[in-house]
Amino acid sequence: MTVRTRIAPSPTGDPHVGTAYIALFNLCFARQHGGQFILRIEDTDRERSTPESEQMILDSMRWLGLEWDEGPDVGGPHGPYRQSERGDIYGEYARQLIEAGHAFKCFRTSEELDELREARKAAGMHLALKPADLALSAEEQTRREKEAWPYVVRMKVPATGRCVIDDMLRGAIEVDWAQVDAQILLKSDGMPTYHLANVVDDHLMGITHVLRGEEWINSAPKHQLLYEYLGWEMPQLCHMPLLRNPDKSKLSKRKNPTSINYYRRMGYLPQAVINYLGRMGWSMPDEREKFSLDEMMSHFDVQRVSLGGPVFDLEKLTWLNGVYIREDLDDKAFLKALREWAFNEEYVSRILPQVRPRVETLSQVVPLAGHFFSGLPAIDEESFDEVKLSREDLLRLLQFLVWRFEGVPAWRKETLLEEVKTLSGHFDLKMKAFLAPVFIAITGSSSSTSVMDAMAILGSDMTRARLRHAIEVLGGISKKQVKRFEKEYREIA
């Protein structure tokens, strides 16, 4: 048997460090067994998936040196590797499952589903809807079918008993069937859900081992049942521990930057980031802290993964990055790293138009454009003294902007301008007044290049990181304030 593993990201946002972490372990597992590593794009959520996000995922994985043998960009014998391009495959299997009596068309309306859940709640039962809850009388089923009501396809699941999942790290995991709902397989628009598409593709792509985050454990019983229904052998499952913030909560962008783009923009070296991710729950047999991807691949042993939640600590990563710069980069390599990072034609040419109208000598360029080549600006509370807004309003403005920017799919000046317009309207401020604190947060001073252009050039992650940094230096936002802000924010169109 050839070992085949995969990473199956959904292109619905920034390229997440968690994706790189899981990809790294899948790659190492495959290589250690002389196998193959596949990249598959799971874009069945058509509303949230974007081509920009997919491109960023591919770019950032490549930047980290995580090469795949088959994927949407390199092709391969089991393509297409983008679920949105796999046409009718999933609908076919859904039909097969219905025919064999393992799945059913569910014509329930969303009001009915709410009522059914309420009824289960009132009876003190688990909220997971079961086939028996959802069943309609035979006449009603036929009527709705004849009248062409919208429907979803759901899988049948046992009402009682226990399901046992075999996990490579955790051994037998038992889950009560009572907690498992009659999962939707095909949505009313005919698109598959993650569960159906994932199982079908893992099978058709010959995946033998699935290493994925532990947040998927609850899905495993449904997947196991689908494999059984379809008469396929299930890949071996291995649920990796989730990355955590230093306070042990689940790694989240509220507390830590989670986008690989951020680390790239900040000037971390890919080899240091990969090395650090390799230490998340795993160690080399000799426990050394510094190792390359090649070294990790040749010493990899999945059984050395420890399940205690690995902490993704920015300070440790920064320290390790420094070690790489000092120990591994001679002058030539250092220069090369700087070029790849920001001192290259592509990046510098985007900055020149910002600088040209504002300088009289070349020596003014660096002081003026320094914010394009740095991380978080050196600002403090006093930096905002000139801004005529209360502290609360400042925080509100910056936080709302972070939230708006989180939802921007295509990071372009025009799109950002829309967001800024909407918010300045909401705050009843002229654009200039609205942008004053943003200017300081982004450029670190009150006179520099255009802030809108700066944000467009710096990119989503660095922009948001600087806005968040400004919030921090202004004293941060309390839990109470967050609640209040969220409520108000939701009302903005």
Known binding positions for ATP: 253
Q: Select the residue interacting with ligand GLU from 4, 5, 9, 157 (CB under 6 A).
A: 9
Q: Select the residue interacting with ligand GLU from 20, 28, 29, 42 (CB under 6 A).
A: 42
Cβ–Cβ < 8 Å for 69, 38: yes
**CB of 214: closest distance to ligand GLU in angstroms?**
11
Region near ligand GLU per CB under 6 A, out of 8-16, 252-260, 366-374, 476-484? 8-16
**CB of 313: closest distance to ligand GLU in angstroms?**
23
Strand partners, 106: 152
**CB of 8: closest distance to ligand GLU in angstroms?**
4
- Residues of this chain, 174-233, that bind ligand GLU according to CB under 6 A: 194, 198, 212, 216
Told to check if 8 binds ligand GLU by CB under 6 A, we report yes
Told to check if 26 binds ligand GLU by CB under 6 A, we report no
Which CB, 83 or 245, lies closer to ligand GLU?
83
**CB of 79: closest distance to ligand GLU in angstroms?**
17
Structure tokens given for 355: 């600088």
d(CA 425, CA 193): 39
Which CB, 216 or 347, lies closer to ligand GLU?
216
Residue with tokens 């790290």: 169
Which CB, 49 or 449, lies closer to ligand GLU?
49
Which CB, 23 or 368, lies closer to ligand GLU?
23
Told to check if 275 binds ligand GLU by CB under 6 A, we report no
**CB of 43: closest distance to ligand GLU in angstroms?**
9
Cβ–Cβ < 8 Å for 400, 485: yes
**CB of 123: closest distance to ligand GLU in angstroms?**
33
Region near ligand GLU per CB under 6 A, out of 3-11, 163-171, 313-321, 470-478? 3-11
Cβ–Cβ < 8 Å for 398, 420: no
d(CA 263, CA 247): 20
Residue 332 appears among annotated catalytic residues: no
d(CA 460, CA 408): 8
Which CB, 13 or 309, lies closer to ligand GLU?
13
Cβ–Cβ < 8 Å for 277, 318: no
Which one from 121, 146, 253, 480 is the annotated catalytic residue?
253
Structure tokens given for 5: 């593993």
Please name the amino acid found at residue 91: G
Region near ligand GLU per CB under 6 A, out of 7-15, 128-136, 414-422, 442-450? 7-15
- Residues of this chain, 348-407, that bind ligand GLU according to CB under 6 A: none
Which CB, 24 or 351, lies closer to ligand GLU?
24
Q: Using CB atoms within 10 A of its CB, is residue 173 exposed (0-12), middle (13-18) or buried (19+)? A: middle
Known binding site: residues?
A: 253
**What are the residues binding ligand GLU (CB under 6 A)?**
8-10, 42, 194, 198, 212, 216
Which residue numbers are catalytic? 253
